[in-house]
């Protein structure tokens, strides 16, 4: 009997699935932001199992969620929709603020997230 062995094809499919799961969070970071510098070992690499929502603030103060440009009111609505999810399914909000921004812009985003009831938030930096 000549039967087709599909095991190598399944292995390839699983490898591709893992690669895309790891690459997807990296692809969401499309807004050009010069992150502030932090000391070595300031953080750990993102966990592939955890969902993230990337909020970027460019040097002009414009907001974006992933690659989609939003206003501050739309950002608050996004936070409200995240807050409606069960807490175990809520993504971590990662704030990527440009290094030349006023600190107040980042605090405004954190305050908006807190006002909507979000508790999982972090600030992204680059390593020196």
The label of the residue with tokens 């993102």 reads: 46
What percentage of the chain reaches a pLDDT higher than 70? Answer: 80
Q: Is residue 9 part of a domain?
A: no
In a domain? residue 19? no
**6-20: pLDDT as tens digits:** 888 899 999 999 988
Q: Is residue 104 part of a domain?
A: yes
Q: How many domains does the chain have?
A: 1
Q: Are 29 and 97 in contact (CB under 8 A)?
A: no
Asked, for residue 33, whether it belongs to a domain, the answer is yes
Residue 29: predicted pLDDT: 56
pLDDT score of 39 more than 70:
no
Q: Is residue 87 part of a domain?
A: yes
Contacts of 71 (CB under 8 A, 6+ apart): 63
Q: Kindly tell me if the per-residue pLDDT of 26 is higher than 80.
A: no
Span 93-120, pLDDT tens digits: 999 888 888 888 888 999 999 999 888 8
Residue 34: give its domain's CATH number.
3.30.420.270
Please state, in angstroms and rounded to a whole number, the distance separating the CA atoms of residues 22 and 26.
8
Give the structural domain span for 81. 28-127
pLDDT in tens, 69-89: 999 999 999 999 999 988 888
More confident residue, 3 or 83: 83
User: Is residue 12 a part of any domain in this protein?
Assistant: no
Please tell me which residue, 102 or 41, carries the higher pLDDT value: 102
User: What six digits make up the tokens of 113?
Assistant: 């997230």
pLDDT tier at 67, thresholds 50, 70, 90:
confident
Q: What are the beta bridge partners of residue 96?
A: 56
Q: Is residue 46 part of a domain?
A: yes
88 in a domain, yes or no? Answer: yes
């Amino acid at each position: 009997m000549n039967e087709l062995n599909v095991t190598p094809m399944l292995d390839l499919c699983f490898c591709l699935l893992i690669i895309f799961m790891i690459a997807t969070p990296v692809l969401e970071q499309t807004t050009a932001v010069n992150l502030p510098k932090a000391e070595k070992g300031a953080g750990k690499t993102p966990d592939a199992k955890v969902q993230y929502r990337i909020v970027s603030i460019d040097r002009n103060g414009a907001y974006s969620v992933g690659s989609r440009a939003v206003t501050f009111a739309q950002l608050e609505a996004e936070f409200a929709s995240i807050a409606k999810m069960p807490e175990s399914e809520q993504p971590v909000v990662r704030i990527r603020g440009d290094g030349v921004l006023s600190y107040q812009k980042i605090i405004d985003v954190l305050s908006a997230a807190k006002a909507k009831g979000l508790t999982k938030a972090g600030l992204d930096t680059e390593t020196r």
